[in-house]
Amino acid sequence: MDQIIVFTTLFLALIFFVWGKIRYDIVAFLALFVLVVTNIIPSERAFSGLSHPAVITVAAVLVISKALQHSGLVDVIVDWISKISKKLWVQVILLSTIVALASGFINNIGALAIIMPVALHLSRINNFSPSLLLMPLAFASILGGMTTLIGTPPNIIISTFRDQQLGERFNMFDFAPVGASLTIIGLLFITLIGWRFLPKRQSKEAILDMFEIDNYITEMVISEDSELIGVPVSKFNEVGETEITILGIIRNGMRIHAPSAWEEFQKGDILITEGHTEDFKKFSDANKALIAEGERLRDSAKGSSDIQTQEAIVMANSSIIGNSAIDSKIRTQYKVNVLAIARQNKKINKRLSKIKIKAGDVLLLQGESENLKEAIKTLQFLPLAKRELNIGKPRRVIGALGIFLAAIICLVLGLLRVEIAFSLAAVILVLTKILPIKEVYLSIDWPVIILLAAMIPVGEAFESSGGAETVTKLILSIDNTYPIWLFMGILMTVTLLLSNIINNAATVVLMAPIAIKIADNFDVSTDPFLMTIAVGASCAFLTPIGHQSNTLVMGPGGYKFSDYWKMGLPLTLAIIFIGVPLILYFWPV
């Protein structure tokens, strides 16, 4: 009975993961609670995942990754590379290589986030199509993460499974022989052949003109007999019976940006509004306000020079996903207007109050410089402007690298366990003020942490209930007289397909027990089977939802769901057919 409940719970969780309407961390918690309520997971073990070494290690690595980003080292390298050549194929090779190298030592999402704005900047000034450059960078970040223990969460999780099985973890560079080999092969394909399969959908001006926002902004003057006088901003649309957004008010020559909901309109106010033509006309015909003609008054008002616009991508761990721009209260909390939203490089023409924000959406934000920076940082957005380089701070660069290398040395020499070494490094980075304390909590991908903490007990229940044993027998029923490499290929294929539709951390938690039991059945080493799961879980190249790097480039690249197959399918087949022999060569059974 327990096994049926576990299988049913996992099956429903998988459906919800694929459906995507409910956040994956919430789905994982629901699965956990079902198994706790049914007494399959003891209540005292319900939150044991929060203290699991893999969870601690992933969180610590994310903090260290943020500190290395702050050091500015990678920024300087990228800036140097961008000056070498203006040819597209050269830029693809150089930027993909630097992303792959960086992804082995900092979080692969972080590495992509550093270099992606530079790639967009290069595409603009050199008249490249961003769609030819961004997907290679995303795939390179995924490949590079396979090369070290800390490059990607699946490697960290696999290491803890080995510790449970053999009492010894994988070391920092145990993944390098297979991971680096596959990364080199993958990079050769991506940079020489793969990018040529991608569609060219944009011209130089496409991103710049994605938001023709001036077509939707109108200035309106409140006349002395207007019914708006004394009405608060929050009631504006109720009076006008339209849906127009108040971006600002010009009063006595001064610009009030993103006025509060309680700000009352006064006679002579000039309203800076955004909406559709029919709404402006309806409002004007009702004589509630007059549309200002001629010169744009907002340009000459005091305070207007401080107002900027900024394009930014919604990261996969942003807290506003699933909410509208209005519901997210960006304006109230940060004094920042959301002017428009684009998805797959096309502006969404629905009203902002009707649009539920998704990961990968591009937002056009308006506000004062400091407010924009604060909103982008806190809400986990990625600005699409060329990064300001952190040059001239050698103490920060040397300090961050020194602490990071010290943690690696302690790990390699066996002086400290991985979760202790990197947690200690994270604390020292904060104590030395290389990483501000407020950045620590912003740097951690909390949905992934919660997902992992919830799925670990679920995975244990999957194994203890006999579920893993049942799946193992089903796989072996093919005929266990077939060679081991065939079963490794099946495992890698199944793992790879799962990782393209659900989070790779959840995939590892489910597949690792099956791999261990198959190895036990053949009475061979567990290591090659664990490596098979690690590689399969990391290589999500077929969909935009399988890995955050793929999601991140979808909007700015203007990609469709099917575009990922064009370069991803050949790369995936290469990983399967080359990966299994490589694993058997470096990790013989």
> How far is the C-alpha of 26 from the C-alpha of 17, rounded, in Å?
10
Alpha carbon dihedral 508, 513, 514, 520, in 10-degree steps, equals 140
Is residue 54 situated within a structural domain? no
Residues 29, 99, single domain; the answer is yes
Q: Which amino acid is at 253?
A: G
Is residue 388 situated within a structural domain? no
Residues 226, 265, single domain; the answer is yes
Rg (CA), the chain: 26
Residues whose CB is less than 8 angstroms from the CB of residue 119 and which lie 6 or more positions away in sequence, other chains included: 91, 95, 130, 133, 134, 137
Residues 22, 148, single domain; the answer is yes
Residues 136, 117, single domain; the answer is yes
> How far is the C-alpha of 511 from the C-alpha of 532, rounded, in Å?
10
Alpha carbon dihedral 458, 463, 464, 466, in 10-degree steps, equals 120
Residues 133, 248, single domain; the answer is no
| Per-residue confidence (pLDDT) for residue 81, from 0 to 100 | 65
DSSP character for 389? P
Residues 106, 192, single domain; the answer is yes
Q: Which amino acid is at 5?
A: I
Nearest CA to 31 out of 40, 44, 18 is that of 40
Is residue 35 situated within a structural domain? yes
Counting the structural domains of the chain, the total is 3
> How far is the C-alpha of 559 from the C-alpha of 367, rounded, in Å?
29
Contact at 8 Å (CB) between 474 and 49? Answer: no
The H helix count followed by the E strand count for the chain is: 25, 10
Is residue 229 situated within a structural domain? yes
Residues 115, 188, single domain; the answer is yes
Contact at 8 Å (CB) between 537 and 499? Answer: yes
Nearest CA to 418 out of 153, 67, 50, 179 is that of 153
Nearest CA to 391 out of 76, 68, 70 is that of 76
In DSSP terms, which residues pair with 251 in a beta bridge? 254
> How far is the C-alpha of 255 from the C-alpha of 259, rounded, in Å?
10
Among residues 281, 300, 319, which one ends one of the domains? 300
Residues 272, 163, single domain; the answer is no
Parent domain of 522: 2-46+73-204+445-586
Phi and psi, residue 322, nearest 5°: 95, -10
Residues 13, 100, single domain; the answer is yes
| Per-residue confidence (pLDDT) for residue 427, from 0 to 100 | 93
Query: Any idea what the CATH number is for the domain that residue 225 is in?
Result: 3.30.70.1450
Residues 374, 498, single domain; the answer is no
Is residue 319 situated within a structural domain? yes
Residues 113, 133, single domain; the answer is yes
> How far is the C-alpha of 383 from the C-alpha of 313, rounded, in Å?
6
Spell out the per-residue pLDDT of the chain, length 589, in tens.
788 888 888 888 888 877 777 877 888 889 999 999 999 999 888 888 888 888 888 888 888 888 877 776 666 666 676 677 678 888 888 889 989 998 998 878 878 877 887 788 777 777 788 888 899 999 999 999 999 998 888 999 999 989 888 888 898 899 999 999 999 999 999 999 988 888 876 544 444 455 665 556 788 888 877 878 888 888 876 665 667 788 889 888 888 888 888 888 888 888 888 877 677 777 766 656 677 665 566 766 776 777 888 888 888 778 888 888 777 788 888 888 888 888 766 777 777 777 888 888 888 898 888 889 888 888 888 887 655 545 445 667 788 888 988 988 888 788 888 889 989 999 999 998 888 887 888 788 888 888 888 888 888 888 788 877 787 778 777 666 678 898 899 999 999 988 887 778 888 988 999 899 889 888 899 999 999 999 999 998 988 877 888 888 877 787 887 888 889 999 999 999 999 999 999 999 8
Is residue 430 situated within a structural domain? no
Is residue 439 situated within a structural domain? no
Residues 370, 241, single domain; the answer is no
Among residues 300, 322, 347, which one ends one of the domains? 300
Helices 153-166/53-71 angle, 10° precision: 140
Is residue 433 situated within a structural domain? no
Among residues 300, 335, 353, which one ends one of the domains? 300
